[in-house]
Amino acid sequence: MQPLVLYDILSDLPGNNWSPNPAKPRFVLSYKGLPFVTLWVDYADISIAMKAIGGKSSKRPDGSDVYSIPVLSDPNTGAIITDSLEIASYLEKTYPEKPIFPNSSESLIRAFDSDHLGLIQPTIRSIWTRSMEIMSPATAKFFMEVRSQDVPLPWDANYDEDWALLEKGYNTIYEWYQKTDGKWLMGDTFSYEDIIVACYVLWYKRVMKEEEWARISSWNGGKWVQVLADVEKECKLA
């Protein structure tokens, strides 16, 4: 089997990785035990690089084309897949061993993906502010220019209201975890839902200031540090 190729986003951090969307396919590939290599792309070059390999485009609010990461290229089948959820779906269909959508749960997990993002999206300007700090100045400038089309400036990582909203969002996710008997959102059955939750927590751990990460780590009795550790272990990334 030839290694699959995952396109992820470069940063100044040791080991590069930070962004939650490419983290999700990295966790899935590792969980399923599939061989893969990662190609790191600067955020400012994503559109040029993904257009060149045949990634799918969508539109920015100003009507211009945007190509996004993650993209997965599978030399075993010739497939080039854009979007973390579509990549998860492709990997599940093509490599069904070690399911991430157990018991025909893909449609429910698609709904979960959107509900989960809906809890984080209102606070995203603060997390984006921290994410810009791990990019080169030119890339951070590009990031702010393009992403401010989605969330108008000013952004700041200290907005009390963002922190209150983020904590409220995690209280909701905590309630979801409390409804099950096992350690996963589906009880004793591991699924892509837990990967989604862990990859966002990993983002905070990677980009936030030490005291901000300590604050998140204290929420819900340390639940989020535990979920991240459990998912990393399950996916053989720890």
Ligand X SMILES: N[C@@H](CCC(=O)N[C@@H](CS)C(=O)NCC(=O)O)C(=O)O
Number of residues in the chain: 238
Taking CA atoms, 203 is separated from 16, 24, 100, 124, 238, in Å, by: 12, 11, 21, 12, 16
In angstroms, how far is CA 27 from the centroid of its own chain? 10
Considering only residues 143 to 182 of the shown chain, the ones binding ligand X according to CB under 6 A are 146
Both tokens of residue 99? 């399911």
Question: What distance in Å separates the CA atoms of residue 186 and residue 103, rounded to the nearest whole number?
Answer: 10
> Number of residues in contact with ligand X, rule: CB under 6 A?
13
Can you say how many angstroms the Cα of residue 134 is from the centroid of all Cα atoms in its chain?
16
Its sign, for the CA torsion 216, 222, 225, 230, is negative
- Asked if 83 interacts with ligand X (CB under 6 A), we say yes
- For residues 68 and 191, which CB has a smaller minimum distance to ligand X in the complex? 68
Closer to ligand X by CB, 61 or 187: give it. 61
Tell which positions 176-215 bind ligand X, by CB under 6 A.
none
Out of 11, 21, 123, 139, the only residue in the binding site for ligand X (CB under 6 A) is: 21
Cβ nearer to ligand X, comparing 68 with 123? 68
Comparing CB distances to ligand X, the nearer of 30 and 217 is: 30
Q: Which amino acid is at 47?
A: S
Q: Identify the residue among 70, 74, 170, 231 touching ligand X (CB under 6 A).
A: 70
In this structure, which amino acid lies at residue 145?
E
For ligand X, the closer CB: 47 or 89: 47
Instruction: State yes or no: residue 19 binds ligand X (CB under 6 A).
Output: yes
Q: Report, in Å, the least distance between residue 188 CB and ligand X.
A: 27
What tokens were used for 147? 């992403």
- As measured in angstroms, the least distance from the Cβ of 107 to ligand X is 17
Q: Phi, psi at residue 185, to the nearest 5°? A: -65, -25
Neighbours of 219 (CB within 10 A): 16
Residue of 11, 17, 38, 68 interacting with ligand X (CB under 6 A):
68
Distance CA 128, CA 131 (A): 5
**Closest distance to ligand X from the beta carbon of 183 (Å):** 25
- Selected from 4, 23, 29, 46, the binder of ligand X by CB under 6 A is 46
Q: By CB under 6 A, name the one of 28, 29, 69, 72 that touches ligand X.
A: 69
Q: What span, in angstroms and rounded, lies between the C-alpha atoms of 136 and 26?
A: 24
**Cβ distance to ligand X smaller for residue 21 or 220:** 21
Select the span of 30-38, 66-74, 93-101, 181-189 touching ligand X (CB under 6 A): 66-74
Largest interatomic CA distance in the chain: 50
Residues that bind ligand X (CB under 6 A): 9, 19, 21, 46-47, 66, 68-70, 83-85, 146
